[in-house]
Amino acid sequence: MRAFTIMAGLMVLLVAVPRHGDGDAPEALPKLRVGHVGHDHQIALSVAAERGRALERPYGVWLKVLKPQEAYVLYDLGRPVARITLVRVGGGAKMPSALAQGRIEIGLGGLGPVLKFVDAGAPLKVVAPLNTDGDALVIRSGLKASDWAGFVRLVKSSPKPLRIGYKDPFANAYLIFSRALDEEQIRHGREHAAPDGRPVQVITVDLQDDENMLPAMERGIVDGVVANEPAPSLLVQNKVGSWVADLSDLPPLGKWRNHPCCVVAASDKALKQKRDIIKSFLKVIAAGSDVVLRDKESALTVEAKWTGNAPEVAWSSVSHVVYVGRAGEAWIAAVDVWLDMLSSSQAFQKDLKGRSALDIRSVAFDLAPLNEALAEMPARSR
């Protein structure tokens, strides 16, 4: 009985007595909800999260784990600045949709879907780049083409149209692929006949999601797919398909090199109310990108851990993606090419309709927090 009383007393003391530094307790910190897709385009975040305190010395920021892959405390210059909650919101429009609905305050996702939401009036801004390139064409094993020229020959000599799957009509891979087919004067479309009544040479099949690609290829439902990593590497490693081309190399030659893929976007409300926290978070992303570029081995380990992909898939996938932590001139120029292409594809119908790339950037991008964050980071990390 006495032992029980002592134990109970101790427990009451533990709960009731205020602890030193309660203001630093995660519960007392401001919160930042971060949405992400969970694939390897966003490895900068996962690498930073896994590196923990090792980031502090070179970059001044780090993430302390509260719950792996879910909750962290963000430290900047030795002080805890926010409690970060990571939310897997899904790819495509799901991230900007979650941002527009206020379910997350900042998110990592594709540039195209973010811009579609800005066009529709969502109060969002692109605040940082994450990666470029990383889209590929893979065809069914057994079909004879090992590069783009071979694929064009295969299409032109095939008695039947080739079926090529994609995941989304606004996916980078589909947009580049369809323009490259135009460039090669290959008739293509979702129907068997082109608008002029002639049969198409490539039927594009909306597979709705990355996850449908492997079974669709395996069962011969499609002859190939155009997709972003890690889907192409997954197909090749599973011996379901063979690699044909990196879509950045498709015609018009050079146009698609460095094409922007994932970005960091934030809601206008968060940018106004939590600007300093966002700046600290962007430092983490920049630090994570740096680590990926400098230490690919550890990035691969993290990729396999966070995505569940096999190491060889991770290796192939990460090798094809270009990670970008800074909004440099090359990235901005590639963004402008992309914005012009989206505009000419009638992708924008509302707020961004008819605007020039420069104009769209002034409305949909706010890179000031990133630039300020990078300026504040220790010199060796910049």
Partner 1 sequence: MNTRPEQRRSWPDRLPGKLLLGSLLPLLVLLLWWLGIRSGTAVVPTFGAVLEVLLHPFRTPPDLSSRSLAFSLLMTLLRLALGFSLGVATAVPLGFWAGRSRIVDRVLYPIVQVSRPVNPVVLLPVVTVLFGLSSVASVAVGPLDAWRHDVWDQVQLAMLFILWWGAFFPVFMSTVHGVRSVRTAYLDTMALLGATGSQVLRKVLLPHALPSIAQGMRIAMGVSWLVLLAAEIFPGTRSGIGYMLCTACKTSDYQYTFAAVIVIGLIGLLIDVLFQRLEQRAGRWQAAER
Report yes or no: 173 and 226 within 8 Å, Cβ to Cβ. yes
Q: Where does this chain touch partner 1 (CB under 8 A) — which range of 17-25, 69-77, 226-234, 345-353?
A: 345-353
User: Closest distance between partner 1 and the C-beta of residue 367, in Å?
Assistant: 21
**Residue pair 55/287 in contact by the 8 Å Cβ criterion:** yes
169 binds partner 1 (CB under 8 A): yes
**Cα–Cα distance, 65 to 352 (Å, whole number):** 40
113: contact with partner 1 by CB under 8 A: yes
Backbone phi, then psi, for 374, in 5-degree steps? -65, -35
Per CB under 8 A, 165 contacts partner 1:
yes
Distinct helix (H) and strand (E) counts, the chain: 16, 15
- The answer to whether the peptide bond before residue 169 is cis (omega within 30 degrees of 0) is no
Binding to partner 1 (CB under 8 A) within 203-222 occurs at 205-209, 212, 215-216, 219-222
3 state DSSP class of 229: coil
Beta carbon of residue 195, minimum distance to partner 1 (angstroms, whole number): 11
Give the H or E element holding residue 156.
Answer: helix 148-157
Q: Site for partner 1 (CB under 8 A): which residue of 2, 160, 192, 239?
A: 192
Closest to partner 1 by CB, 124 or 244: 124
Closest CB 35 distance from partner 1, rounded Å: 15
Instruction: Give the number of other Cβ atoms within 10 Å of residue 305's Cβ.
Output: 14
Q: Does 349 bind partner 1 (CB under 8 A)?
A: yes
Cβ proximity to partner 1: between 116 and 274 the closer is: 116
CB 86 within 8 A of CB 95: no
The correct pick among 9, 30, 121, 311 for binding partner 1 (CB under 8 A) is: 121
Q: Which is nearer to partner 1, 35 or 92 (CB)?
A: 92
In the complex, what is the shortest distance from the CB of residue 112 to partner 1, in angstroms, rounded to a whole number?
A: 9
| Shortest distance (Å) from residue 97 CB to partner 1 | 6
Near partner 1 by CB under 8 A: residue from 38, 80, 92, 109: 92
Residue 191: both structure tokens together: 């129907």
- Residue 181, SS3? helix
Residue numbers 282-341 binding partner 1 by CB under 8 A = none
Q: What angle do CA 98, 134, 94 make, to 5 degrees?
A: 10
Virtual CA dihedral for 352, 357, 360, 366, nearest 10 degrees?
160
Is there binding between residue 347 and partner 1 (CB under 8 A)?
A: yes
d(CA 104, CA 283): 19
| Residue 93 found at the interface with partner 1 (CB under 8 A) | yes
Using the rule CB under 8 A, is 44 a contact of partner 1? no
One of 144, 156, 190, 382 touching partner 1 (CB under 8 A): 190
Identify the bridge partners of residue 243 per DSSP, sorted by sequence position.
138
| Residues 337/259, Cβ–Cβ less than 8 Å | yes
Which residues form the interface with partner 1 (CB under 8 A)?
92-93, 96-97, 100-101, 113, 116-117, 119-124, 163, 165, 168-170, 190-193, 197, 205-209, 212, 215-216, 219-222, 345-349
